[in-house]
Amino acid sequence: MSELEAKPVSTNNKLGLAKSDYLGGKSTLCVGCGHDSITNSIISSFHASNISPYDVAKMSGIGCSSKTPGYFLSKASGFNSIHGRMAPVSTGAKVANQKLITLGISGDGDTASIGLGGFVHLMRRNVPMAYLVANNGVYGLTKGQFSATSEKGSRSKAGGSNPFSMIDLCSLALDVGCTFVARSFSGDAKQLVPLISAAVKHNGTALIDIISPCVTYNNHEGSTKSYNFYKDHKVILQELGLILPEQEILADYDPGSTTRVDMPDGSILTLKKLALDHDVTNRWAAQQLVHESNSRGEILTGLLYIDEKSQNFLQTLDLTERPLSELGETETRPSAQVLSDIFKEYR
């Protein structure tokens, strides 16, 4: 937060809001915790995207990462729920009021262990929301046990080695049908801000698996989720840009090296090729890419997969336009005639 507070917040966005209007309470995380950087990128993204905080639902589970909704957008409503249940709670919240711009932030413990079922089934349903995982490879809040996203062989602070297969959240998400899959790094605001903006606009569930170092329990030598490990092993897939509908197409947009993805609201996501050629609309190519990159020991970040043409959960449910939460007797109570018609069946 200090970083933000230091910056002069001068430019107002289209809603006339300053960046300071997107701040939250003071963080109580450890100094240097990756999660605080994610907080900053969320603030930047929502400010830049001209989203009114009033329209936002901030969702989380339990963990250090799940505390962050307290630290951004204090004017928005939020639900810091219970451990591992962010996905279903968010599903309910969003379906009951489709107008809510739903941003979830969870931890790797919250998502890949206790919350794994909910996570997978959220993606199967394609519930429109941004699902951010602040992935530090450990249970921060309970003091540093390995989580299921820890690499096999990575070392704990106490020196133990993780003997179990890692769950790669991106590969898993691709496997079960997630329609927006990205990996990023908490410290890479340049990449993370447009990714969050795109995730929020996405027509379905958007997963961003964000490597977010835990300085207290998983930032040592031998950890594969430390600041140093990231620095030494990062491979950045694309340079990302997000052009809002009201903005002019930027001059430096070169169709040769840059792919564009049209977002539902008319924004354009631009992907400028950096490390490798990759077709972000090819699900299985994306999954192979992740596997190959993992096997080279890299941390590959960027947008891995996107599909803006899929049917999202609200469409599947074929909902009336007004939020369900606003429906009263008039909209929901069938007539007396209907009732007596129905009873004919029961005589």
Partner 1 sequence: MQKKINDFVINVATVNGSGSQSANTILIKSLFRMGIPVGGKNIFPSNIMGLPTWFVIRANKNGYTCMKREYDMVVAMNVATVLDDLKSVNPGGVFLYNEDLKVEASLLRKDTLNISVPFRKLVDQATDQLKLKKLLANTIYVGILSHLLDIDYEVLISVIKDQFADKAAVVASNLKAIDVGRAYAAENLTDTLIGDFPLKLEKMNKTQGKILIDGNTAAGLGLVYGGCTFASWYPITPSTSLVESFARYANRYRKDKDGKNTFAIIQAEDELAAICMVLGAGWSGARAMTATSGPGLSLMAEASGLSYYAEIPTVIWDVQRTGPSTGLPTRTQQADVGFAAHLSHGDTEHILLFPATPEECFEFGQTCFDLAEKFQTLVIVMSDIDLGMNLWITDEIKYPTKPFERGKVLREEELKQMPQFLRYQDKDGDGIPYRTLPGTHHPAAGFLTRGSGHNEKAQYTENNVQYQTVLDRIVKKFETAKKHVPKPIIETQVGAKVGIIAFGSTHWPMLEARDILKTQGLATDYLRLRAMPFSPEVHDFIKSHERIYVVEQNRDSQMLKLILMEYPQYATRLISIRNYDGLPLDAVRISEPLLKLEKSS
Ligand X SMILES: Cc1ncc(C[n+]2csc(CCOP(=O)(O)OP(=O)(O)O)c2C)c(N)n1
Q: How far is the CB of 141 from partner 1 (least distance, A)?
A: 7
Which residue of 129, 214, 237, 271 would you call a contact of ligand SF4, by CB under 6 A? 214
What's the DSSP call for residue 25? Answer: S
- Minimum distance from residue 290 beta carbon to partner 1 (Å): 22
CA-to-CA distance for 101 and 78, rounded, in angstroms?
A: 11
Task: Find the shortest distance in angstroms from Cβ 246 to partner 1.
Answer: 22
Least Å distance, CB 123 to a copy of itself, is: 7
Q: Which does 136 bind (CB under 5 to 8 A by kind): ligand SF4, a copy of itself, partner 1, none?
A: ligand SF4
Count of residues that bind ligand SF4 according to CB under 6 A: 12
x/- binding map, residues 77-116, to ligand SF4, per CB under 6 A?
A: ----------------------------------------
The C-alpha atoms of residue 106 and residue 115 are separated, in whole angstroms, by 9
- Please report whether residue 140 would count as binding ligand SF4 according to CB under 6 A: yes
Residues 107 to 126: which contact partner 1 by CB under 8 A?
113-114, 116-118, 120-121, 125
Is position 217 an interface residue for ligand SF4 (rule: CB under 6 A)? Answer: yes
Neighbour tally for 212: CB within 10 Å:
31
Instruction: Please choose, from the candidates 134, 139, 88, the residue with its C-alpha nearest in 3D space to the C-alpha of residue 113.
Output: 139
Smallest distance from a copy of itself to CB 198, Å: 21
CB atoms within 10 A of CB 281: 14
The structure tokens listed for 219 are 């930032």
Phi, psi of 324 (to 5 degrees): -55, -35
Which token pair is 335?
Answer: 């007539």
- Any contact of residue 109 with ligand X (CB under 6 A)? yes
| Site residues (CB under 8 A) for partner 1, limited to 62-81 | 62, 64, 69-70, 73-81
Question: Shortest approach of ligand SF4 to residue 119 CB, angstroms?
Answer: 19
Helix (H, G, I), strand (E, B) or coil at 109: helix
Instruction: Select the residue interacting with ligand X from 17, 64, 130, 148 (CB under 6 A).
Output: 64
Are 67 and 112 in contact, with CB atoms under 8 Å apart?
A: no
Yes or no: say if 185 and 35 are a contact pair by the CB < 8 Å rule.
Answer: no
Residues 2-41, mask of contacts with ligand SF4 (x by CB under 6 A)? ---------------------------xx--x-x------
- Strand residue runs (E) in 113-179: 129-135, 138-139, 145-146
Stretch that binds ligand X, among 17-25, 105-113, 229-237, 276-284 (CB under 6 A): 105-113
- In terms of Cβ atoms closer than 10 Å to its own Cβ (0-12, 13-18, 19+), residue 116 is middle
Give the pairing of strands 129-135 and 205-211.
parallel
Q: Rounded distance, CA 283 to CA 181, Å?
A: 9
Q: How far is the CB of 217 from a copy of itself (least distance, A)?
A: 20
Q: Is the dihedral of CA 62, 64, 65, 66 positive or negative?
A: positive
Binding site for ligand SF4 (CB under 6 A): 29-30, 33, 35, 64, 136, 140-141, 214-217
Task: Kindly list the residues in this chain that would bind a copy of itself in the complex (CB under 8 A).
Answer: 113-114, 116-117, 120-121, 123-126, 148, 152, 163-168, 171-172, 175-177, 284, 287-288, 291-292, 311, 316
